[in-house]
Structure 1
Amino acid sequence: MTLSARITGLYVGKSEHLWQDKAPSAIRKKYQEGPLELNELGFLEDEQADLKVHGGPEKAVHHYASEHYATWASEYPEQAHLFKPGAVGENIATEGLTERNLCLGDVFTFGTARIQICQGRQPCWKLVSHTGISSLAMRFQKTGFTGWYYRVLEDGRVSVGDTMTLLVRPHEDLVLADVIAARFNPRLDPALAQKLADTPELSGNWRKAFLKKTQAGYTENTDKRLKG
C-alpha cells in the first residue's frame, strides 16, 4: 500500500527541573526546522531524563498524531490553548498518520534515515504534571490516542518538510491501535497476548508485558503503569 505524510514539526528538548520536589523531565520540547541528526538513540539534540523508562533504542523517536489535538481541545476547553503540535513531548508531528492506519513493525523513510514502529506510548505522571490535567494520562489510555515509538534502523538526517513514506509492512493484521488497546487490557485473550509476545518487531519491554498476560490469573495494575 502507499502511505506517506509530510513532517510538519520536529521537536527536541533537554532535561529540566520543571516541578518542585519531582524528578526532572525533558517533556518540554522545542520546535526545530532541522536538519537534525538521528542515530539509534534518537536525535542527537534530544535528551531523556530517566533512562529507565524513557529513551533507548526502542524509544528512540516519539510520534504523536496532530489530529488528536482537536479531540483534547474539545474535551478540555479551559486548557484548549495547550493542545498544539509538540505539546505532549513528541519528536515528530504529522497529519495523516494515526494509530488506526499504522501497523506494528511498519518501516518508514525519515529524511535519509529509516525508522520502524515498535510500540505505543505508556503515558505517565509527567504528562499530567506537564499539562496540569489530572485525568489526561488515563484518557490517553482509554482513547488509545497515545502516540507511538520508533527504533532507528538506519542513521540519517531529517528536516521539517521531508516526507515519511511507508517502505515495509510486515504485520498488516496488527493494527497499532489494536496493539495499544491490548497492552492496556487487563483481561486480554491469552492467545493474542502470546502472538504479540512472539512478534520480533515489538519492543522487548512490551513483549515481556504480553508474555505475563499469557499467565492464568494474571492481572495488571493500571495505576502502576502511570508511574513509569
Structure 2
Amino acid sequence: MEKLSYQVKSLNIGKIEKHTYGERSFESAIRKQSINEPVFLGKMGLKGDEQAFKDHGGEDKALCLYPYDYYEYWDGILAKMEETALFGENITVVGLTEERAHIGDIFSFGGAVIQVSEPRNPCYKLAAKYEVPDLVVRMRDTGYTGFLFRVLEEGNVCQQDNLVLLEPHAEQVPVSLVNDVKFFDKMNKEKLEKVLAVDALSSSLRSSLLKQYSK
C-alpha cells in the first residue's frame, strides 16, 4: 500500500525582530522567509529559526505547519497577505489539514522523523501583523489554526522533501477535534477523555486540558 505523501510548498525560517503595527510594538520571528537549501532540523526546531518567547518553542513545538489549502480563503480578508509563511509557519504543506492530521501521527520529512503534538494556538501578533483585530477569532472559528510537531529523529530537510506518513496513530484523534474541545465544546467529558487518551499529546496542552476536565 502506497504511503500518504504531502507536498511541502515552502520551508521557512525567521529571525527575532522588533515589529510595530499600529500602536503595538513587540519582538517576534513571525516574518519568516522561505529557503531552498537544506537545513538541519533538530529537537528544538530548524537551524537558524528563532522564537521570541518560550511558549513558541520547545521540544513539543519544534516545527509549525500551516496548510496551503487555506491561503485562498484568507486572500481578501488579509489586505497585506504574505505569499509565503502566511502565519509564520515553518512549513507550508499542501493537503495536510487539521481534519487529516491526527495527534501522534508520525511522518518522515527528508532525513528527519516528526510527530504531530498539538494544534497551533493563534496569538495576537498575527492580528497585529495584518491589522485584522478579530483574526485570532476567525482562525479559531474556522479551525484553520495549523499544528505543531515534535522531532523524533533529527536530520537535514529541504523544501523539495515531502511529508510522508510513516505511522498513523492508533487513537485517530484529529487535530480538529482537539481544537473543538479547546475552543468550543470545552465541557464535553467524552471528547476530552478521547483527546487525553492520546499519549503523544504535548505535555503543556495535556496539563491545560486536565484542568479543563476537572472543572
Q: Same fold (TM over 0.5)?
A: yes
Give the TM-score taking structure 2 as reference length: 0.92
Task: Report the equivalent of 2:18.
Answer: 17
Question: How far is 1:14 from its partner?
Answer: 0.7
TM-score by length of 1: 0.87
SS of alignment partner, residue 22 of structure 1: strand
**Residue correspondence of structure 1 range 181-192 to structure 2 within 5 A:** 181-185=180-184, 187-192=186-191
**What's the secondary structure of 1:49's corresponding residue?**
coil
Partner of 1:158: 157
Q: Does 1:145 align with 2:147?
A: no
Gaps of 5+ in 2: none
Equivalent position SS for 1:141: helix
Q: What value does the CA root-mean-square deviation take over the aligned residues?
A: 1.7
Aligned to 1:206: 205
Kindly indicate whether the alpha-carbon contact (under 8 Å) linking 1:69 and 1:83 is maintained by their aligned counterparts in 2.
no
Letter in 1 for 2:58: G
Closer, same or farther in 2 for the Cα pair 1:34/1:188, shift >3 Å? farther
Residue 167 of structure 1 pairs with residue 166 of structure 2 = yes
Rounded to whole Å, the distance in 2 between the matches of 1:34 and 1:8 is: 14
CA–CA separation in structure 2 for the residues paired with 1:158 and 1:201: 23
SS of the residue 2:27 aligns to: coil
Range that drifts further, 152-161 or 176-185: 176-185
Unaligned runs of at least 5 residues, structure 1: 219-228
How many residues end up aligned between the 2 structures?
Answer: 212
| 2:67 is the counterpart of 1:65 | yes
Residues 40-119 of structure 1 aligned to structure 2 (within 5 Å) = 40-51=43-54, 53-74=55-76, 76=77, 79=79, 82-119=81-118
- Cα shift readout 1:156-175 (whole Å, capped 9, x = no counterpart): 01111111100011235311
SS at match of 1:67: helix
Is 1:135 matched with 2:134? yes
Task: Give yes or no for contact 1:69–1:85 (8 Å, CA) kept in 2.
Answer: no
Contact preservation (8 Å) 1:123, 1:140: yes
Distance 2:126 2:85 in 1: 12
Secondary structure of 1:180's counterpart equals helix
The equivalent residue for 2:175 is 176
What's the offset of the Cα at 1:45? 0.9
Q: In the alignment, is the contact (CA less than 8 A) between 1:199 and 1:207 conserved in 2?
A: no
State the Cα distance separating 1:67 from its structure 2 match.
0.7
Residue deviations 1:29-53, cap 9 Å, x none? Answer: 01101201110000011000011x1
Distance in 2 (alpha carbons) for counterparts of 1:90 and 1:33: 15
Shift of 1:55: 0.6
User: How far apart, in 2, do the equivalents of 1:199 and 1:173 lie?
Assistant: 9
Instruction: Report how far residue 72 of structure 1 moved.
Output: 1.2
Per-residue deviation, 1:188: 2.9
Mapped partners of 2:82, 2:32: distance in 1: 14
Aligned equivalents of 1:126, 1:164: Cα separation in 2: 28
Q: Which amino acid aligns with 1:113?
A: A
Confirm or deny: 8 A CA contact 2:33 2:84 kept in the other structure: no
CA contact (8 A) 2:104 2:198 kept: no
